[in-house]
Amino acid sequence: RNAGADVWPVREQDMNTQEMIVVRGGPGYAETGNWSASARTGYGGQASRQATTSLSGATSTASWTFTPTASGRYAVYVWYNIADSTLQAPDAQYLVTQDGGTSEVRIDQRAHGASWRYIGTFPFVGGVSGKVTLTNSSSASGKIVLADAVRVGGGMGTERGDGPPPS
């Protein structure tokens, strides 16, 4: 964020060679509470998961756990699709558990979906699990939060079109 505006870098800002991607339904992903399949396709072509927002605190969580091999500061990104911007939460709560404790980040899920959304750079310890948790806690009643994937680190180019051509 820059003076209250979203900033979308053209180049990767994390120069770490390690990249960890955790997807819903895969190893490192867990849910608590009431989640259901969304009608929209999310990261990797699978259905997104959705939970209805709660005004009284988190009643549902989706967590992505990962373990970096080296200590350092890693950029963290989230992926969610836009099902219907009138239905999605304006303040989806993400909790990043890292070396310095737990940091809260609020993201407007009504915009900038279907791409890696940068939520911050955080310190992680090599060999120690880190975690990103999405909750359904929101100031908006009757909305949804969408869970898809989390990416940590810059990596060497795993997305189609990145990195060297296949051999």
Q: What is the mean pLDDT of the chain?
A: 88
The percent of residues in the chain predicted with pLDDT above 70, rounded, is 86
Helix, strand, coil share (%) of the chain residues, nearest 5: 0, 45, 55
Q: Whole-angstrom Cα distance, residue 11 to residue 33?
A: 37
pLDDT at 150: 97
| Residue pLDDT, tens place only, 57-77 | 999 999 999 999 999 999 999
- Whether the per-residue pLDDT at 91 is higher than 90: the answer is yes
DSSP 4: T
- Give the pTM: 0.87
| Residue pLDDT, tens place only, 1-46 | 456 666 666 667 777 788 999 999 899 999 999 999 988 888 988 8
DSSP 44-113: GGSEEEEEE-BTTS-S-EEEEEE--SS-EEEEEEEE---S-TTTB-SSEEEEEEETTEEEEEEE-TTSS-
- Whether the per-residue pLDDT at 163 is higher than 50: the answer is no
Contacts of 116 (CB under 8 A, 6+ apart): 77, 78, 79, 151
Question: What average pLDDT does the segment 128-155 reach?
Answer: 95
The backbone torsions φ and ψ at residue 104, rounded to the nearest 5 degrees and listed phi first, read -95, 135
- Whether the per-residue pLDDT at 139 is higher than 90: the answer is yes
